[in-house]
Amino acid sequence: MTKIRSICVYCGASDTVDPQYIRLAEQLGRELAKRDIRLVYGGGGVGLMGACARAAHESAGEVLGIMPKFLLQKERIYKDVEHRIVDDMHTRKQMMFDEADAFIVLPGGIGTLEEAVEILSWARLGLHAKPMAFLDEDGFWTPFFDLLEKIIQGGFIPEDFRQAMVHSREPGEAVDALLDRVVVLDL
Ligand code: AMP
């Protein structure tokens, strides 16, 4: 089976969310640790980001956090894991992309959406073939998938772009789906 070494997780940084989302982030962190997959994430100690990273770390998983200088205080960098402090958001996003074999998107806000859509746009441009799973238990991402269907039906992106992403309800299912989709590069 294809081995995924690192998964980048995009998720909300807000602490004022329904606790069900925090629990899902923790479950995902534990799942990645159990499977010996490194978590790459934005480096913060807040919201779903912090919950996922702490759970992975406390389950003896490998974690890499990447944080831009200007967010050090706001997102309360989680120092117990390996972390890199970079100059700006652009460098953070590029490094998160480079360090990951695949992506999981948990519920989140504008930042989460922007990061996920940027990676999808790079896939659309043929710049990479790293797969992406959207993970929720409550259909959080369903309206996004509905919009993508509209976009496909409208002819704006080809039908086979559906292969670039999957909608999963459970952390193990999301990781399995990514394993199925990872392209083995013949180098
Ligand atoms: P949010 O989903 O808005 O709670 O943000 C989640 C993460 O995305 C946080 O670590 C933010 O720093 C990050 N973020 C916010 N805005 C952007 C952006 N324009 N591009 C990339 N990441 C962002």
State the helix-helix crossing angle for 89-98 and 110-124, rounded to 10 degrees: 60
Q: Whose CA is closest to atom 8 on ligand 1?
A: 111
Angle (CA) 56 62 63, round 5°: 75
Task: For each of the domains in the chain, give its residue range(s) and CATH number, in order of start.
Answer: 6-181 (3.40.50.450)
Q: pLDDT tens digits for the chain (187 residues)?
A: 568 999 999 999 999 999 999 999 999 999 999 999 999 999 999 999 999 999 999 999 999 999 999 999 999 999 999 999 999 999 999 999 999 999 999 999 999 999 999 999 999 999 999 999 999 999 999 999 999 999 999 999 999 999 899 999 999 999 999 998 875 443 3
What is the rounded distance in angstroms from the CA atom of residue 54 to the CA atom of residue 184?
A: 31
Centre of ligand 1 from the C-alpha of residue 110, in Å: 6
Q: Output phi, psi for 98, to 5 deg.
A: -60, -35
Centre of ligand 1 from the C-alpha of residue 111, in Å: 3
Q: Are 103 and 132 in contact (CB under 8 A)?
A: yes
Instruction: Find out whether the beta carbon of 89 lies less than 6 Å from any atom of ligand 1.
Output: yes
Instruction: Find out whether the beta carbon of 14 lies less than 6 Å from any atom of ligand 1.
Output: yes
Instruction: Find out whether the beta carbon of 1 lies less than 6 Å from any atom of ligand 1.
Output: no
Task: Give the residue from 37, 38, 36, 46 showing the smallest Cα distance to 67.
Answer: 46
